[in-house]
Chain A
């Protein structure tokens, strides 16, 4: 009797969450794999099984590769900026005590406002006629094309990446600050006694001690970059100029919701999903262990 009521309780308490999660998240994910086999347009109910031809179409399309390259570019340069600036600012913040809590709060402002607002703000900042950055560059003698930084293919992706870094950085500062604070004080004292100072001390002592935080940070960079959608969708109308800012999710939106090619869109989602898993596994493996930790 007791056993039955325990089991019934567990089932009843788990059921709502498990059902919703399975129905709206797990099932669609499995469905994406299945849908990728079909040639299937818009609302029509007829769909033809074409095997792997959607993947073939995808791999032959320049836009697909362009979107992967652009996401990769943001991953590398956005990621490096986030980690470097995150560690640097956390380092500055480390010794500022009570003020640090206030500043950490300010630094997270961009994360709590909607990405829609962030996109609109940055679109304005880059506006060649009245934006702070557009106008500012002109004041300092910069040569901004009439189309503005977002309208010129060479500068568009770096400009979007800058907005992305502005939005995300606060979180990484917070992460690295927690990491720096978890470095045992004996380690810092020992480094002090050895006379390790400044950059040398950072490179040889602090940086290796941050390995677990670095691991979390790179995993988050991957997820943040793959999730990049609203910024591009709203800043450059989903990839302008000429796909210079096209990223994987804006391309998915184009295939699925602008062109209505559901099968092709599902195939693209499958490829991006597998790639994301692979890249995440790779970075987690790369940062798997503290090389110094093995000795202690």
Chain B
């Protein structure tokens, strides 16, 4: 009994350590700029909903929000079909070099991507893709492939071969078998992988920092970081806190809906890595 109490206390303490900073931002987003200073621990005298309107319009966050949506959705629209196609081939076909190729994709999961930032920057500038959404999306797709191909290969491996063979006997070619039978069957897995990728893409910062420069192209993390780095803006903390909430809330909500599935996918990725 005493041990259970101790465990509960320890867990509650850790939960507080996780939640207090997040709640602090939430509460801070409803304070006036001077209240953040004069009363950092307390509740706001009257909630400043205006902060959200200010952040949305004045701080340019609406633009960044839209760019983030475009970058995330655009990446998924390319990534999911091509990643699923490669994963399906890895799962159901063997060909010369297939093991080595799969290993190469796998290695990308443990590779610190940012190390190639300089050559990548030069390559993108050669192609004229620097500071473009298309360029960002292509890079995001490439850097998300490792994880996507790895997890989806696992899903396709678990689908029985009999279904595939039956479709082929019915006269479907390899491609039709995939699009008509196997891909729809893998849909639950594909959805989780898409959500997991979306969270990472929504939050991505270092590559966007290097590849984008014009303000009109900035994604949400980039725009928000810029607001903080520009000291002039630091006068109004309340608005900044509201901006933070705008970045964090969508992913936290999506994550909470899918959390058990996401944990599975994270562990699947981890145990192999």
Binding site for B on A (CB under 8 A): 5-7, 9-10, 12-14, 16-18, 20-21, 23-29, 31-32, 35, 88-89, 92-93, 95-96, 101, 103-110, 112-117, 119-125, 129-132, 135, 166, 170-171, 174-175, 178, 216, 219-220, 223, 226-227, 229-230, 234, 237, 249, 252-253, 256-257, 262, 265-266, 269, 272-273, 276, 280
Alpha-carbon distance between A194 and B116 when the two chains are bound, in angstroms: 54
| Chain B residues, CB < 8 A from A178 | 267, 271
Bound complex: CA A25 to CA B124 (Å): 12
Give bound CA distance, A120 to B116, whole Å: 26
- The answer to whether B36 touches A130, judged by C-beta atoms less than 8 angstroms apart, is yes
Would A9 and B173 count as touching, CB distance under 8 A?
yes
Question: Which of these, A31, A107, A234, A265, contacts B123 with CB under 8 Å?
Answer: A31
Q: Whole-angstrom distance between the alpha carbons of A229 and B210 in the complex? A: 12
Could you jot down 9 A-B contacts, CB within 8 Å?
A: A17-B105, A18-B101, A20-B141, A107-B18, A113-B22, A113-B251, A114-B247, A130-B37, A223-B112
Query: Assuming A13-B86, A17-B85, is B270 touching A92 (CB within 8 A)?
Result: no
CB of A171, distance to nearest CB on chain B (Å) = 7
Select A25's contact among B118, B143, B256, B270, beta carbons within 8 Å.
Answer: B143
Q: Which residues of A contact B41 (CB under 8 A)?
A: 132, 135
Whether B121 contacts A117 by the Cβ 8 Å rule is: no
Which of B8, B41, B119, B143 has most A Cβ within 10 Å?
B119
The docked-state distance in angstroms from the alpha carbon of A280 to that of B108 is 14
Does A10 contact B141, Cβ atoms closer than 8 Å? no
Q: State whether B40 touches A130 (Cβ < 8 A).
A: yes
Query: Could you say which of B113, B115, B224 contacts A117, with CB atoms under 8 Å apart?
Result: B224
Interface centre among A124, A125, A129 (most CB of B within 10 A): A124
Q: CB distance B7 to A276 under 8 Å?
A: no
Bound-complex Cα distance A233 to B245 (A): 21
- Contact check, B267 vs A25: say whether CB atoms are below 8 A apart: no
In the bound complex, residues from chain A placing their C-beta under 8 Å from that of B24 are 121, 125, 132
Question: Smallest Cβ distance from B62 to chain A, in angstroms?
Answer: 17
Find chain A residues with CB under 8 A from B105 CB: 17, 21
Q: Is the interface of B mostly helix, strand, loop or mixed?
A: helix
Known pairs A112-B251, A113-B252, A171-B266; A93 contacts B116 (CB<8 A): no
Residue ranges of B at the interface with A (Cβ–Cβ < 8 Å): 4, 7-8, 10-11, 14-15, 17-22, 24-25, 28, 36-37, 40-41, 82-83, 85-86, 88-89, 93, 95, 101, 104-105, 108, 110-123, 138-139, 141-143, 145-146, 149, 173-175, 178, 199, 202-203, 205-206, 210, 220-222, 224-225, 228-229, 237, 240, 244, 247-248, 251-252, 255-256, 259-260, 263, 266-267, 270-271, 273
**CB neighbours of A31 from chain B (8 A):** 116, 119, 122-123
Do A21 and B145 form a contact, CB below 8 Å, given A14-B89, A114-B221, A116-B224?
A: yes
* Chain B residues within 8 Å of A230, by CB: 205-206, 221, 225
- Do A269 and B225 touch across chains, with their CB atoms under 8 A apart? no
Q: Closest 7 A-B residue pairs measured CB to CB?
A: A114-B203, A24-B142, A28-B119, A31-B119, A9-B174, A17-B86, A28-B116
Q: What's the minimum C-beta distance from A60 to chain B, rounded to whole angstroms?
A: 21
Q: How far is the CA of A21 from the CA of B206 in the complex (A)?
A: 19
Which label, helix, strand, loop or mixed, suits the secondary structure of the A interface?
helix
Instruction: Please tell me which one of the listed residues B104, B123, B174, B222 contacts residue A27 in the complex, with CB atoms under 8 A apart.
Output: B123
A249/B247 contact (C-beta < 8 A), A16-B85, A89-B11, A166-B18 known: no
Q: Say yes or no: B108 contacts A25, CB within 8 Å.
A: yes
Q: Which residues of B contact A166 (CB under 8 A)?
A: 17-18, 21
Would B145 and A116 count as touching, CB distance under 8 A? no
Which residue of B114, B116, B117, B120 is within 8 Å of A227 (Cβ)? B114
Q: Which residues of A sit under 8 angstroms from B25, Cβ to Cβ?
A: 117, 121, 124
Distance A249 CA – B117 CA, assembled complex (angstroms) = 10
Judging by beta carbons under 8 Å apart, are B40 and A135 in contact? yes
Q: Find B225's partner among A24, A108, A234 (CB 8 Å cutoff).
A: A234
With A17-B85, A112-B252, A116-B224 as given contacts, are A132 and B21 in contact (CB-CB < 8 Å)? yes
A101 & B260 in contact (Cβ 8 Å cutoff):
yes
Q: Please, how many angstroms separate the alpha-carbon atoms of A249 and B141 in the complex? A: 22
Given A116-B225, A120-B228, A170-B18, residue A20 in contact with residue B115 (CB < 8 A): no
With the chains together, A121 CA to B243 CA distance in Å? 12
Interface centre among A18, A32, A113, A171 (most CB of B within 10 A): A113
Determine which of B8, B110, B202 lies in contact with A96 in the assembled complex, contact meaning CB atoms within 8 Å: B8
The answer to whether residues A24 and B138 also contact, given A120-B224, A132-B21, A132-B24 and a CB cut-off of 8 A, is: yes
Given contacts A14-B89, A103-B15, A129-B37, A113 and B116 within 8 Å (CB-CB):
no
